Amino acid sequence: GFVALASSGEQAAVVADRQLLWVGTDARTQVIDRGLLVLPVQSTSTVTYLRFGNQEAGSDSIRRWDSGTGARTTLLSGAVGLAAVGPDELIATRDTDTAVEVFRSNSLGELEQVAEVPGSATGGSSVGRVLTLGSTSYLDLSVGAETSLVRVDLHGDHSDVPVKGWAQLLLEGVDGDGTVLVSGRRTVESTSESIGVVAPNGDGFEERATAGATGLNLIHEGTIYLTTRDGEDGELTVRTVRSSGETDGETLYTGYQLAGATWPTDNGATQSTLRSRAALIAQQQSQ
């Protein structure tokens, strides 16, 4: 079978009554759930979805429905977000007064907390990118004016937050061995951007280069490719530096910037989208 979304025929009720439907192989239709908005995130013989209850973020929930039994289970409630990062593999977030809690699905299909990003998230949190390579997912998560890098071990006990509380942080990519490339500014007073890595078994950020500003940055087979500019009138430069060892780099071109690569720029990693009320509002405001 497959899932479908439907709205009430009454114009006034369209926003208040969205339905998530299951259409079986016999064309029989069942109502899985209804709410302000119901977004399917993963669908097999069970459907895992995000339900917005009403106008308040705290009324949201992550639920699962079984097509065989028709049973509906609430996995997590509150101001929650959800992403599917692999077959039967989920990552979820929940905003609280003191932190953003990060969850992953376990072997029982339940959501268990594996990390926490400190900071009041009463105004909502946001996730820029979600990259998954092998059994690890990486996400840049913003709370208030600070952004952190979260690393989620999908099968083990090694989830952590190796980069915390930067004024500006971008998850640039991940190398084939799990080395993560990030760039940004540690504080609002920082006069230059820092570009560096988090090693697969490392517990923190290792700076590899700095620049007044950067463009597209890539990592591949242990080499970081940078687009940099120093000063408002500085010339664009494409240069390289190794992701470990000596930080002496090499200038490849001046007056040019990176626009892409001849290799898959995510090095085998897959991208996912974390859906949440805050993400939906941000998307609407940008249109």
CA distance 247 to 164: 23
CA distance 10 to 109: 37
pLDDT at res. 221: 97
- Owner of token pair 């500006």: 168
pLDDT at res. 58: 76
List of long-range contacts for 76-81, beta carbons under 8 Å, 24+ apart: 76/103, 76/111, 79/121, 79/124, 79/276, 79/277, 79/278, 80/50, 80/276, 81/50, 81/125, 81/127, 81/274, 81/275, 81/276, 81/277, 81/278, 81/279
The three-class DSSP label of residue 133 is strand
pLDDT at res. 8: 65
Q: 15-24, 29-38, 169-178, 191-200: which range is least confident on average? A: 15-24
C-alpha angle with apex 209: 246 to 214, nearest 5 degrees?
150
DSSP 161-179: EEEEEESEEEEEEE-TTSP
pLDDT at res. 263: 92
Proportion of the chain in helix, strand, coil states, percent, rounded to 5: 5, 55, 40
pLDDT more than 70, % of the chain: 95
Residue 269 has what DSSP assignment? -
- Number of residues in the chain: 287
pLDDT tier for residue 75 given thresholds of 50, 70 and 90: very high
- Owner of token pair 């969850």: 103
pLDDT tier for residue 10 given thresholds of 50, 70 and 90: low
List of long-range contacts for 62-66, beta carbons under 8 Å, 24+ apart: 62/92, 62/111, 63/33, 64/109, 65/22, 65/32, 65/33
Q: Which residues of 237-252 are buried (b: 16+ CB within 10 A; e: fewer)?
A: bbbebebeeeeebeee
pLDDT at res. 57: 64
The chain-wide mean pLDDT, for the chain, equals: 92
The arithmetic mean of pLDDT across residues 176-193, rounded, is 96
pLDDT at res. 270: 97
- Evaluate if residue 254 carries a pLDDT over 90: yes
pLDDT tier for residue 13 given thresholds of 50, 70 and 90: very low
pLDDT tier for residue 222 given thresholds of 50, 70 and 90: very high
CA distance 82 to 281: 15
pLDDT more than 90, % of the chain: 80
The arithmetic mean of pLDDT across residues 163-170, rounded, is 97
CA distance 157 to 114: 8
The three-class DSSP label of residue 67 is coil
- Evaluate if residue 233 carries a pLDDT over 70: yes
